[in-house]
Structure 1
């Protein structure tokens, strides 16, 4: 497997996907139908069967995950970067389909989940990178595509100095057969400033 997946040998799935296999420079992963991460808010249900491959992350470096949006076609198809402390404290940031439109967003959970999102129809079928950088008990979450620059999508509290994990995730709440091609999972230099774009590392 490419050095673009430097943490792959350290990662462990929260819930095993239907399958995960190497295909050249990609990691292809198929989600279980009905898989998701969500805690209580608005809907009143909990879903803890999403697929996140987690490895230790001490926050001294930023973490980035890249993936191909070509397979995102149905409601709530989703993938991106999971930041994890425990079952009730986590952040998933990425891209999902909502009302037929690709959106970038984040779910921040501390016993209860919240959800923020923004439509990005121009990102459809692109390669997306989600990035998190840790600073002063918070994370700055950014996203870009192979054709679009970085945009900041969330600054969130994540006040866990120890026992943090991070890695790629995917969920398929509504259908079977959803597969995502992850093209990169890496640690890189942390953000220098909230208002300065980090370098692009591919």
Structure 2
């Protein structure tokens, strides 16, 4: 992706600040609050909107990338990128622990949440980058492990006229104290085409 710029951690704003936030050189290390989560109604019947997200503006025609390291070892531990309009309209995408294995997936919420995922045991304990690209009436989510190839995760609708924000997120629905090291947060132009592969 050309013309990337680093987003300073202090430039973005926390939605539900984590238990701890610790700058460590260029990285940001956060610890989650107890039973933090983002979910809306589907199947479980409850609404949770107390996960942690560090958000900056995501105007139409732009993209963000978030890179992180985390030991996901409890059920539903998760980290990645969030795209947020309001509490009923959002996307979270990244890596989540379920069925004893890390899964790459996304939850798209428009009134009700859905959930798609695929196992990625090879991602365990390794640096992951998740990219959200907003173009036209859609957000394209891609991810990669370290310097591996980009993998398509999700194409989801997002009205071009709405105001949206995006950035790193994490939560731990079953516990307190998931530690996530965010190593990179950059913004830039949206992908040129749906099947374009962003530059490293």
Shorter-chain TM-score tier: over 0.9
Cα pair 1:4 1:184 within 8 Å, conserved: no
Task: Please show how residues 1-202 of structure 1 align to structure 2 within 5 Å.
Answer: 5-69=6-70, 71-200=71-200
How far residue 160 of structure 1 moved from its aligned partner, in angstroms, is 4.4
Distance across 2 between alignment mates of 1:189 and 1:136:
13
Distance across 2 between alignment mates of 1:98 and 1:72:
9
How far residue 112 of structure 1 moved from its aligned partner, in angstroms, is 0.3
Q: TM-score, normalised by structure 1?
A: 0.93
Change over 3 Å in CA distance of 1:181–1:169 after alignment to 2: same
Cα pair 2:6 2:187 within 8 Å, conserved: no
Distance across 1 between alignment mates of 2:129 and 2:27:
14
How far residue 5 of structure 1 moved from its aligned partner, in angstroms, is 4.5
Task: Write the deviation string for residues 47-76 of structure 1: whole angstroms up to 9, x where unpaired.
Answer: 01101111111132211001013x211111
Change over 3 Å in CA distance of 1:163–1:7 after alignment to 2: farther
* Cα-Cα RMSD: 1.5
Cα pair 1:129 1:145 within 8 Å, conserved: yes
Question: Which has the higher mean CA deviation after the structures are superposed, 159-168 or 173-182?
Answer: 159-168
Distance across 2 between alignment mates of 1:35 and 1:50:
5
Q: Could you say what secondary structure the match of 1:85 adopts?
A: strand
Task: Write the deviation string for residues 104-148 of structure 1: whole angstroms up to 9, x where unpaired.
Answer: 100000110000001000111111000011122101100001142
How far residue 158 of structure 1 moved from its aligned partner, in angstroms, is 1.0
Cα pair 1:4 1:183 within 8 Å, conserved: no
Q: Could you say what secondary structure the match of 2:73 adopts?
A: coil
Cα pair 1:26 1:181 within 8 Å, conserved: yes
* Stretches of structure 2 lacking an aligned partner (at least 5 in a row): none
Q: TM-score, normalised by structure 2?
A: 0.94
* Stretches of structure 1 lacking an aligned partner (at least 5 in a row): none
Q: Could you say what secondary structure the match of 2:115 adopts?
A: strand
Task: Write the deviation string for residues 150-193 of structure 1: whole angstroms up to 9, x where unpaired.
Answer: 00010000114232101111001111221100001111332122
